[in-house]
Structure 1
């Protein structure tokens, strides 16, 4: 049974019981009156009746001479009454039911004594003559000039029958009245309870979350309550809507964060955002309600959170690495307590990429410093040697030193240019840039043809796959020039004999160019790292060739900047092929 049904039945039952109680009290009073006051009233009424009969008999007896027995019998004929005429000395002169001569002296009867004294006498007792309970009424009378007493009596049994009849009638009326009162009470209780029950239904619906159903408009005394419930429903719906919007906004904000966020009551997780699921795998539903140490967080991170919770202060620390070699920044902020439990906001940021970038930055700075230091130191030493040679008059040696200074200066210039290109490539690209790849290749070939010819290498281009087709790539022309120049420069530098060829192909979505040489090749173990900054397979040969170690790193940045891909294949002694694929501009 629901709470609403229990309350409703209880309310209606109380109303009905109230009516029953009132009816019962009234019925009890009525019943008591039928058994007590009614009997007394009947007796008083019968005594008055007997007195009236006796007083009427007094007039008849006084005016009727002769034998009184005939008179008294006629006076009470066809009635249940008994009439007795008693002389002043107590002798019974006449009796309607018995022989007067057989009756004893009545001078000691209380009613006779009172009547002879001139008042109305009354008494209730058992008749000595008939042996039954009688009610007696005697009045003073005159017979043949003498004071006498005229008594009229009636059996109490007859009076009891009268009382019983009246009582029976009263009880029947009482039963009908009680039944009618109960029926009317039940109908009245139902009618009274129905609007209250309707309002109770509306209140229970509101309590169960139904704020759409309308509140019945009642009239009369319940009209203010109906209006108040309707207003309360409207206000609750408005406030709940505001709370739901606020909750959705909060959830959207939390789920939009890249950092994992936990709200803790004590050590128990109350709220967790989507990033926590992404970062630590267990679904958010499984994390809620658990101890923070049981949510599947890495042990080092869970331990750091426990330590931070114990401090009770704002805590920011780094943790890691975990088994997946991830690093985290942990922030724990105490909040206002709820229900006597300490609350904390825990924010976990994955700083693995930042740590790696820091490591790469430190390595880059160290390598760049080293690469810049080498030519500058060489220039200083060579300039000192040239000065000494000039002072000794050795012109040839001085000129040789100057030639080496020029080469180191050119290498330093190229390193600076590469660093500038690298810095530019790390900025956001222009998405609207489009470049004619065939024209870019022709320009790059023209720029490197002299270097290839100096080494006796054949430098060719193969456009047969795109004959008669416009080939445009979604990439900046300067970026493509940097990539092509570095690929051709590397191919020429590491090829002693043979040729360097660049081939161009295209499909509906992409364009591809491949730079192939017949040079010394690259060992398989070095291929995964050749696109790293300052990585050299053979450092001594790279410096001899004038390379900076940034060529292929620049190529990778150009390709990634254009959302393309780059692949390299090589066999030591057989040559190397670098393939670049870029989005095609249609």
Structure 2
């Protein structure tokens, strides 16, 4: 490059010398033309190369470096390396940004980024579902205009974010409960975090109901027993009266014992959720005779009870637990079927190789709104009638847990006025 500049100055010097030595006008013009030509060639060369560089940068093809020599070649090479480094840094930043977005999308919590005016800068899919948003449509909209819950609007306006806000039942017909908290960060922005606490609140409500129901169920027989004991202690009774009162106290004692046993059974089942070992159970030859004796003793001849076997194949599972589940379904059918009704107990294997144990009755049936809650502890369709029949309210909860431990399904079909059918559907792997 230095040699080219020297040659350029030499040519220019010669041109000016010729210009000064030449006396004619023609000689002046020749000297001037030579000088201009000498200047135009390198300038044109630079212009062409700069135009090539411009096209190269616009085409965004870093590997195809324009041909050049000397100083320009070194300049192009350094520029190429610089642009590559910048692009690599931009790529890394974009990739890291994408990883952050994917991580936020994978979060089980709703995440909303708000600017200083509470406008939505970004939100993940969970937040869209929680708040009824659509990010493509609602970007840069104020969130309090889109989610019009009064508690949420007041929380956002107060700017006191030390404690979370809990909203139970987000909207009409919705059971969703959210714990929402805002966290301020840079430039007066806020990160809104929403957590689904529906199951937590349901569990807490079930715990309260469970404690209240156990207290109530235990208090009733205790009150009756204490009343009879006070009567026996304070009043002179005939032997027949004493025997009657003692028998009534014994009945209440049995009821308490049954309740405690069911509670212990349920606690053991909940503490051992793993699948049971596969011992072979002969439903027809072993279980049916025992179940039939218990059913007839409970019915006292008031019902027509039939046991039907469509298969003699063995069922793999825990015999004690299976007998408990079968017995609870049968006793429920007897207790809720009026005298003279029919109860049919069936065992078979369907076309898919699944074991089917069903209990069908001709009782009053159950309304559809009660069916999803029948397996809840102490849930009763008719509380007064349930206590009259002597049930503890835990039978179907026990059946549900036993079914789960045997990978079985509890299916309930019922129509008011047409009776009910409870079916345990066992997987084919448990049929010997």
Aligning the two structures, in what range does the TM-score lie when normalised by the shorter sequence? 0.7 to 0.9
1:415-464 deviation per Cα after TM superposition (whole angstroms, max 9, x unaligned): 12222333444457325755757538942650451451461255432222
CA shift at 1:298, angstroms? 3.9
Q: Give the match for residue 274 of structure 1.
A: 125
Is residue 203–residue 229 contact of structure 1 (8 Å, CA) maintained in 2?
no
CA shift at 1:200, angstroms? 5.4
CA–CA separation in structure 1 for the residues paired with 2:64 and 2:226: 93
Q: SS in structure 1 opposite 2:429?
A: coil
CA–CA separation in structure 1 for the residues paired with 2:82 and 2:34: 44
CA–CA separation in structure 2 for the residues paired with 1:229 and 1:477: 81
CA shift at 1:348, angstroms? 1.7
2:181 matches 1:331: yes
CA–CA separation in structure 1 for the residues paired with 2:267 and 2:276: 20
Q: Give the match for residue 564 of structure 1.
A: 409
2:27 matches 1:170: yes
Q: Give the match for residue 211 of structure 2.
A: 365
Is residue 445–residue 459 contact of structure 1 (8 Å, CA) maintained in 2?
no
Gap change, CA 1:355 and 1:503, over 3 Å in 2: same
CA shift at 1:346, angstroms? 0.6
Is residue 261–residue 272 contact of structure 1 (8 Å, CA) maintained in 2?
yes
Q: SS in structure 1 opposite 2:164?
A: strand
Is residue 155–residue 165 contact of structure 2 (8 Å, CA) maintained in 1?
no
Q: CA RMSD in A?
A: 4.0
Gap change, CA 1:408 and 1:26, over 3 Å in 2: farther
Higher relative contact order (CA 8 A, sep 6+): 2
Gap change, CA 1:509 and 1:300, over 3 Å in 2: farther
Q: Give the match for residue 43 of structure 1.
A: none
- Counterparts in 2 of 1:91-170, with a 5 A limit? 166-170=23-27
Q: Please tell me whether Structure 1 or Structure 2 has the larger radius of gyration of its CA atoms.
A: 1
CA shift at 1:226, angstroms? 4.9
2:105 matches 1:284: no
Is residue 304–residue 341 contact of structure 2 (8 Å, CA) maintained in 1?
yes
2:186 matches 1:316: no
CA–CA separation in structure 2 for the residues paired with 1:483 and 1:522: 20
CA–CA separation in structure 1 for the residues paired with 2:101 and 2:272: 31
2:100 aligns with one of 250, 259, 278: 250
Q: Give the match for residue 325 of structure 2.
A: 483
CA shift at 1:189, angstroms? 2.9
Size of the aligned set, in residue pairs, is 412
Is residue 440–residue 477 contact of structure 1 (8 Å, CA) maintained in 2?
no
CA–CA separation in structure 1 for the residues paired with 2:323 and 2:210: 24
CA–CA separation in structure 1 for the residues paired with 2:105 and 2:272: 27
More strand by share: 1
Uncovered stretches (5+) of structure 2, i.e. residues with no partner: 1-7
Provide TM-score, normalisation by structure 2.
Answer: 0.77
1:329-387 deviation per Cα after TM superposition (whole angstroms, max 9, x unaligned): 211010021xxxx2110112233343333333322321221112112333333344445
Q: Give the match for residue 382 of structure 1.
A: 228
Q: SS in structure 2 opposite 1:585?
A: helix
1:233-252 deviation per Cα after TM superposition (whole angstroms, max 9, x unaligned): 45445434443443233222
2:262 matches 1:418: yes
Is residue 181–residue 192 contact of structure 2 (8 Å, CA) maintained in 1?
yes
CA–CA separation in structure 2 for the residues paired with 1:203 and 1:268: 38
1:306 aligns with one of 150, 156, 161: 156
CA shift at 1:393, angstroms? 7.9
Q: Give the match for residue 42 of structure 2.
A: 188
Provide TM-score, normalisation by structure 1.
Answer: 0.59
